[in-house]
Every structure is written in structure tokens, then in C-alpha cells.
């Protein structure tokens, strides 16, 4: 089942103290791409992808939705 923008916003509002790493893990588990997160919260996709990439150890990747970061 696809996650909606409203569900993303509700999750973030309900959990205001999440770190970027925790948000990225939730994105991974729920199949949310940086593009979908960006659309939901009003940021640029590149900004979301950069923040996600900053949580990943050097030389590793993560798949978020349909995007490899």
C-alpha cells in the first residue's frame, strides 16, 4: 500500500523529535522516495536526498522508494 503525503506529514507531526537517520529508516521501511517526501513537506528533492545521504556511512547506499541514495 502506498503512503500518502498526508500520512507522511501526520507521521512527522506526531514524531517531532525524530533525527534525520530515524526519518530515513522510516522512509526505507515504508518505501517513501526522496521525491515523495519532498512533495509532502515542501522541500526540494535534492535537499531531501542530501539529508538522507548524510545519514548513510561512506561507500554504502540505501534504497528509498524507487531511488538509490
Hey, how many other C-beta atoms are within 10 angstroms of the C-beta on 14? 8
pLDDT in tens, the chain (69 residues): 589 999 999 999 999 999 999 999 999 999 999 999 999 999 999 999 999 999 999 999 999 999 999
Question: What is the structure's pLDDT at 6?
Answer: 97
Q: What is the pLDDT of residue 56?
A: 95
The cell for 14 is 506526531
The backbone torsions φ and ψ at residue 34, rounded to the nearest 5 degrees and listed phi first, read -60, -35
pLDDT of residue 2: 86
64 SS3 class = strand
Global pTM reads: 0.92
Amino acid at each position: 500500500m502506498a503512503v500518502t503525503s498526508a500520512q507522511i506529514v501526520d507521521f512527522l507531526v506526531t514524531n517531532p523529535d525524530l533525527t534525520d537517520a530515524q526519518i530515513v529508516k522510516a522512509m526505507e521501511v515504508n518505501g517513501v522516495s526522496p521525491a515523495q517526501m519532498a512533495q509532502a513537506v515542501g522541500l526540494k528533492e535534492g535537499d531531501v536526498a542530501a539529508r538522507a545521504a548524510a545519514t548513510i556511512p561512506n561507500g554504502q547506499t540505501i534504497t528509498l522508494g524507487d531511488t538509490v541514495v
